[in-house]
Structures are given as C-alpha cells and as structure tokens.
C-alpha cells in the first residue's frame, strides 16, 4: 500500500494529518502527517481543514521537515494567534483528488469496511481499520455483520498473494487465506 492516509466513514475526504500547535510567531504550524512518507502531505497545494465542525480551504504556502516532524505555513495564517486558532484541525483532501494507484496498491480508506471472507467462504467480519507495524501493514477485522462466523477481532497481515487473495472494491469483499480458528 502506498499511502496510509486515514479515512472518515461516509465522508468525501480522506484525513492526511493534523495541525498540532503553532511554530514560532509568524503563523507557522506543526503538522502531524498520516501519509507515508510523512512529507507526502506537503505535495498537496490546497488543504481542506476541518476544525470545530467547519471546513475551510487554505493554500499551502510552504512546508518542510523540522526535526522529527513537519512545519507548514498556510495562506492567511500570519500570526501565532491565527495559528493557535487552527490547532487541532484535521488536514483533509477530497478522495477524488488522490492519485490513481495501480496493481495491488490500495489506499487504506478503500479497504476499511470491506467484508472479509476466507477462500472456503467463511465470513470473518469487516475491516475496521489498518495500522503499520514496520514489517507489514495489519488489518483489524471485526467479527460482526451479516453472516460473520463469530464476534472475534482478528489481526491479519496485509500480504498480497499470501494472505490477501483478492480485493473486489465494487463488491465490497476481500478474499483471504486465513484459518478462522486463528
């Protein structure tokens, strides 16, 4: 998977990161990025910010790596007070603006919510969310929903051709090679 941006269910946007705190006195903000690599968030010239239930568009003037994180300057944010007002805002991108992926690459938001079925037809549940471990991405499968074999939560590695046999986004189903007892 090439991007680990997090999605909000039933939303037209994907969450790319979060504005965590002001940086300096000229309106710069510290940015926590969910993209992989973290600098990927800086590739988007316009950000949609969700803050206090409102959506606001801001153009990215400049951004850079700073220490272990990122800092950014947004158009119209030119003081520490203006930056403080945006602290906690989520940085969004319309899903339609995401680059097309090829082959077996998927955005996490495309996989979340898929029904997970073994090659024998046993329904394990649905993908609640994914996370990184360093070695590979892991899918958290909740044993709930129509026809689920039980109500267990399972952690399945996202390993195409090994564990993940097929992903059918249109049907909303992922086929896996997984023992329901494990």
Q: CA torsion, points 40, 41, 46, 51, in degrees to nearest 10? A: 170
**Are 16 and 64 contained in the same domain?**
yes
- All residues at 6 or more sequence positions from 127 whose CB lies less than 8 Å from its CB, including other chains: 111, 112, 113, 114, 116, 139, 140, 141, 174
Question: Exposed (0-12), middle (13-18) or buried (19+): which is 121, by Cβ within 10 Å?
Answer: exposed
C-alpha angle 70-44-66 in degrees, rounded to nearest 5: 10
pLDDT digits (tens, 9 = 90+) for 39-77: 999 999 999 999 998 999 999 999 999 999 999 999 999
The DSSP annotation for 20-56 comes to EEEETTTTEEEEEE-SSSGGGGGG-SEEEEEETTEEE
Identify the pLDDT of residue 10: 40
Residue 123 lies in a domain: yes
- Residue 165: which CATH number? 2.30.30.240
pTM of structure = 0.68
Q: Determine, yes or no, domain membership for 50.
A: yes
Establish if 29 belongs to a structural domain: yes
The answer to whether residue 181 sits within a structural domain is no
The pairing of strands 137-142 and 123-132 is antiparallel
Ranges of the chain with pLDDT below 70: 1-11
pLDDT score for 145: 75
Q: How, if at all, do strands 173-176 and 115-118 pair? A: parallel
Cis status of the peptide bond prior to 150, with omega within 30 of 0: no
CATH code, 44:
2.40.30.60
What's the domain range around 68?
6-96
């Amino acid at each position: 998977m090439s991007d680990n941006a997090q999605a909000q269910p039933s939303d037209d946007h994907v969450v790319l990161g979060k504005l965590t705190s002001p940086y300096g006195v000229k309106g710069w903000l510290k940015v926590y990025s969910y993209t992989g690599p973290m600098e990927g968030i800086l590739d988007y010239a316009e950000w949609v910010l969700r803050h206090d239930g409102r959506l606001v568009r801001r153009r990215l003037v400049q951004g850079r790596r700073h220490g272990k994180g990122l800092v950014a300057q947004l158009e119209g944010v030119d003081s520490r007070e203006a930056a403080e007002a945006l602290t906690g805002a989520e940085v969004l991108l319309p899903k339609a603006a995401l680059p097309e992926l090829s082959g077996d690459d998927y955005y996490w938001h495309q996989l979340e919510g898929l029904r997970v079925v073994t090659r024998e037809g046993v329904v394990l549940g649905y993908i609640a969310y994914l996370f990184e471990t360093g070695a590979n991405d892991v899918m958290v499968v909740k044993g709930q929903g129509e026809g689920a074999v039980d109500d267990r939560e399972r952690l399945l590695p996202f390993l195409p051709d090994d564990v993940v046999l097929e992903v059918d986004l249109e049907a909303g189903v992922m086929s896996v090679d997984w023992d329901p007892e494990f």
